[in-house]
């Protein structure tokens, strides 16, 4: 086998993971590109609305993607039915939010609505449709869909930059691409949302009490991870919000590895032996933590000029220390996801709730006593809560693995 064939096989075997990196990188680069030509105020408005929209949409997927896969034990038919149920629930949430927003004191109602719809197509939909491809062993198919979508959103961002399109036009184009992708994926997976409306009782009976563990974990995660962002979006000026989210966005490069690897190994851990689980955790730890360390070192020595270069304005260089704080925080979350994947796959998702509650307390308490520090108060709250979660998940996973080893 020559080098070309080896490379092709490597890409084929890891197409899904590569596609997740492509989507995450594309999403990050889109923010960088539009920040270069939008005013600081407009970028602050977009970032703030995006944070609020993502917060709301989290309730459309309270860990349902993982619940669908684990509770259905990879049964494709059962997975498809549950996807239709939870997707319909997401529709009601989106339409309800749009209706309620008309009565809220929002400066740009249309912009907020479009940001909400874009976030739904860009995140919530992909999360809820993913279990079908995981259960049917068609990760390469969703990989191709991810890569195609990434190229299109990047094309829209570049076109917006070249022609200096307004934020409104950028959002309209983004929503159109999202709608097309939504229709294509729904047809491919043969997901019929109307059946849920016709037979709601039948679909609701598919649920079991284990769902509360997933809901509890995500609700708690929202509170400890999003409270700092909401504090910045609502309490601080839009200029400070732009500074905060500019650093947060770059630091989330580490999240590219976290999301991709977590979604890849959770299905592999379901009903897996002790030795296989241990190997998956060990390999994942080495891979993610080594790359994260390299990224942190790069940010230490070139963070400030990098911020100025990416966003095209000297003002964003002031986010250097925020960038380092967020990067360390996300390394802790990477550790949490490495070990937390096993907690989820082993059916012990509910165990995460008490750790999340402690993190919520840490986040809120930190904001209460340091709120005068502004953006640094929010960054510190994120750092401390993330650090605790990383340690807690690692400790609990090691305990569960000892139990499994004795059981085998």
Q: What DSSP letter does each residue of 307-333 carry, written as one string?
A: HHHHHSSGGGGGGHHHHHHHHHHHHHH
Report long-range pairs for 4-11 (Cβ below 8 Å, ≥24 apart): none
* pLDDT for residue 131: 87
CA–CA separation, 169 vs 156, rounded Å? 10
pTM for the complete prediction? 0.68
Can you say whether the dihedral through the CA atoms of 391, 396, 399, 401 is positive or negative?
negative
Beta-strand runs (E) in 82-172: none
What counts of helices (H) and strands (E) characterise the chain?
A: 18, 0
Rounding to the nearest 10 degrees, give the CA dihedral for residues 61, 64, 69, 70.
140
Can you say whether the dihedral through the CA atoms of 179, 184, 189, 193 is positive or negative?
positive
DSSP state letter for 190: T
- Could you give the 3-state DSSP secondary structure of residue 168? helix
CA–CA separation, 133 vs 390, rounded Å? 29
Q: Which residues contact 385 (CB under 8 A, 6 or more apart)?
A: 224, 225, 359, 360, 362, 363, 366
Work out the average pLDDT over 199-216.
Answer: 83
CA distances from 76 to 8, 135, 201, 346 (A): 29, 6, 20, 20
CA–CA separation, 138 vs 51, rounded Å? 32
According to the per-residue pLDDT averaged within each range, which of 13-22, 271-280, 342-351, 376-385 is highest? 376-385
Rounding to the nearest 10 degrees, give the CA dihedral for residues 345, 350, 351, 357.
130
Percent of the chain's residues with pLDDT above 90: 15
Pull the structure tokens for residue 248. Answer: 């947060």
pLDDT in tens, 87-134: 998 999 999 999 998 888 777 889 999 999 999 998 899 889 888 887
Find out whether 177 and 37 touch, Cβ atoms under 8 Å: no
Nearest residue to 177 (alpha-carbon basis) of 117, 217, 221? 117
Q: Which residue has the higher pLDDT, 213 or 381?
A: 381
pLDDT in tens, 290-344: 878 888 899 999 888 888 887 878 888 888 999 999 989 888 888 888 888 888 8
* pLDDT for residue 219: 76
Pull the structure tokens for residue 91. Answer: 């529709």
CA atoms within 13 A on the CB side of 287: 14
Gap between the terminal Cα atoms of the chain? 39
DSSP string, 367-393: HHHHGGGTHHHHHHHHHHHHHHHHHHH
* pLDDT for residue 9: 64
> Which of 150-154, 210-214, 252-256 comes out lowest in average pLDDT?
252-256
CA distances from 407 to 292, 340, 348, 382, 404 (A): 34, 20, 16, 38, 5
């Amino acid at each position: 086998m020559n080098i070309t064939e080896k490379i092709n096989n490597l890409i084929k075997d890891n197409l899904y993971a590569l596609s997740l990196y492509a989507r995450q990188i594309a999403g990050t680069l889109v923010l960088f590109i539009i920040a270069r030509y939008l005013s600081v105020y407009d970028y602050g408005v977009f970032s703030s609305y995006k944070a609020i929209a993502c917060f709301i949409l989290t309730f459309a997927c309270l860990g349902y993607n993982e619940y669908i896969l684990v509770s259905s034990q990879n049964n494709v038919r059962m997975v498809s039915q549950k996807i239709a149920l939870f997707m319909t629930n997401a529709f009601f949430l989106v339409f309800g939010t749009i209706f309620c927003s008309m009565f809220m004191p929002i400066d740009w109602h249309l912009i907020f609505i479009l940001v909400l719809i874009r976030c739904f197509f860009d995140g919530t939909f992909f999360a809820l449709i993913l279990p079908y491809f995981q259960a049917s062993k068609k990760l390469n198919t969703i990989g191709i869909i991810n890569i195609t979508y990434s190229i299109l959103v990047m094309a829209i961002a570049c076109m917006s930059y070249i022609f200096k399109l307004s934020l409104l036009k950028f959002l309209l184009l983004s929503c159109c691409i999202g709608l097309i992708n939504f229709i294509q994926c729904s047809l491919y997976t043969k997901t019929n949302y109307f059946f849920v409306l016709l037979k709601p009782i039948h679909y609701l009976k598919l649920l079991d009490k284990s769902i509360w563990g997933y809901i509890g974990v995500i609700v708690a995660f929202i509170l400890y991870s999003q409270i700092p962002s909401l504090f910045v979006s609502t309490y601080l000026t839009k200029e400070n919000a732009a500074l905060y989210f500019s650093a947060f966005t770059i630091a989330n490069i580490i999240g590219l590895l976290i999301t991709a690897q977590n979604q890849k190994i959770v299905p592999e851990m379901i009903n897996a032996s002790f030795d296989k689980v241990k190997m998956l955790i060990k390999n994942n730890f080495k891979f993610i933590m080594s790359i994260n360390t390299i990224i942190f070192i790069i940010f230490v020595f070139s963070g400030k000029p990098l911020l100025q270069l990416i966003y095209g304005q000297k003002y964003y260089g002031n986010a250097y220390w925020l960038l380092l704080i967020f990067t360390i925080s996300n390394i802790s979350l990477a550790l949490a996801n490495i070990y937390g994947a096993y907690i989820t796959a082993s059916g012990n998702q509910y165990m995460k709730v008490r750790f999340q509650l402690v993190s919520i307390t840490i986040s809120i308490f930190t904001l209460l006593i340091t709120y005068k520090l502004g953006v640094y108060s929010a960054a510190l709250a994120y750092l401390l809560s993330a650090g605790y979660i990383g340690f807690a998940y690692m400790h609990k996973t090691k305990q569960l693995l000892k139990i499994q080893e004795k059981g085998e």
